């Protein structure tokens, strides 16, 4: 964000006033943010997200930050010369890979986020699905054995609500606690949706690298601001929801179905997109209701 913008007191006051009804709306409500994509790799964007999260927690929103860390995991696997095995085109998570996943997610990405929040004077606590037996997982069932890629059996939210009640911002790496005692790699979008559903969150925000759902995927002017979950099948059929969007939007639909107030896919490439989404009329991206 250009630091040069000259803002009058009048504008300052107006912006804060415009935010008032949104602040009232989210007061003491839970918002789960799935953090990922460009917003996680670009330093300026990362800083903006961190300050957004700290601001939200201060104005009374119970923010939970869930993150993945694909690029960092890939870097480390490469440095360690660990090759990725594929079975029928699907990635197989070996024990060795899983150890790297856990180490990078919980030790590098997670704690760096805690550290960044601290820089912005946020009081954060870095957790993963193992802590307090939070994300109970098991091997993905199916024809193909995908190793330590897991699916969620249950979410124990007590450690999250304890942290929120004690005034911490929980930052969650989505390593699951296998019922067999092993650690499992859990998709972060899915985990965020499951956590939001179990917490009865007011809102789930998935940060992506697209502008939202577009009628014409090449024309950002065709953004669809709101989608009713019952229209999703039709949107899939017409190819408007396609490719990598499908699992993300399935997460949105699933979380809305399981009681999350609203779910939004927002453009993580826009600085402060979380604040804009939550505290302004325009919003940013596509909301599922």
Q: How far is the CB of 148 from its own copies (least distance, A)?
A: 13
* Contact predicate 169/65, CB 8 Å: yes
41 binds its own copies (CB under 8 A): no
Where does this chain touch its own copies (CB under 8 A) — which range of 51-59, 147-155, 199-207, 232-240?
51-59
* Contact predicate 100/77, CB 8 Å: yes
Q: How far is the CB of 156 from its own copies (least distance, A)?
A: 10
Which of 28, 228 has the CB closer to its own copies? 28
Site for its own copies in 227-266 (CB under 8 A): none
- Distance separating alpha carbons of residues 158 and 64, to the nearest angstrom: 13
- Distance separating alpha carbons of residues 258 and 200, to the nearest angstrom: 8
Residue 289 carries which DSSP code? -
Which of 228, 281 has the CB closer to its own copies? 281
The answer for residues whose C-beta is within 8 angstroms of residue 270's C-beta and 6 or more apart is 276, 284
The secondary element (H helix, E strand) that includes residue 214 is: none
184 binds its own copies (CB under 8 A): no
Which of 18, 216 has the CB closer to its own copies? 18
Q: How far is the CB of 190 from its own copies (least distance, A)?
A: 20
Q: How far is the CB of 104 from its own copies (least distance, A)?
A: 6
Q: Which residues are 35's β-sheet partners?
A: 67
Where does this chain touch its own copies (CB under 8 A) — which range of 29-37, 49-57, 83-91, 147-155?
49-57
Taking alpha carbons only, the member of 138, 152, 106 closest to residue 125 is 106
284 binds its own copies (CB under 8 A): yes
Which of 206, 279 has the CB closer to its own copies? 279
Two structure tokens written together for 192:
């965020």
């Amino acid at each position: 964000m250009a630091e040069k913008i000259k803002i009058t007191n009048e504008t300052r006051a107006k912006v804060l006033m415009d935010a008032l009804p949104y602040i009232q709306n989210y007061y003491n409500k839970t918002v789960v943010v799935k953090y990922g994509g460009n917003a996680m790799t670009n330093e300026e964007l990362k800083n903006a997200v961190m300050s957004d999260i700290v601001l939200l927690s201060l104005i009374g929103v119970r923010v939970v930050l869930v993150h993945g860390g694909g690029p960092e995991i890939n870097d480390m696997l490469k440095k360690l010369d660990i090759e990725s095995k594929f079975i029928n085109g699907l990635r197989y998570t070996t024990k060795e890979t899983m150890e790297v996943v856990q180490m990078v997610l919980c030790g590098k990405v997670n704690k760096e986020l805690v550290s960044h929040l601290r820089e912005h004077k946020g009081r954060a606590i870095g957790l993963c699905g193992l802590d307090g037996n939070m994300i109970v997982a098991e091997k993905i069932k199916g024809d193909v054995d995908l190793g330590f890629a897991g699916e969620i059996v249950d979410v124990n939210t007590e450690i999250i609500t304890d942290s929120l009640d004690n005034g911490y911002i929980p930052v969650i790496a989505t390593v699951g606690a296998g019922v067999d005692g092993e650690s499992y790699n859990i998709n972060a979008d899915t985990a965020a949706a499951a956590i939001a559903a179990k917490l009865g969150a007011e809102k789930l925000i998935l940060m992506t690298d697209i502008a939202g759902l577009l009628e014409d995927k090449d024309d950002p002017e065709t953004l669809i601001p709101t989608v009713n979950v019952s229209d999703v099948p039709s949107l899939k059929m017409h190819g408007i929801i396609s490719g990598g969007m499908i699992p993300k939007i399935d997460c949105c639909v699933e979380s809305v179905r399981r009681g999350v107030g609203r779910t939004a896919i927002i453009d993580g490439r826009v600085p402060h997109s979380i604040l804009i989404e939550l505290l302004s009329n325009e919003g940013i991206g596509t909301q599922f209701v």
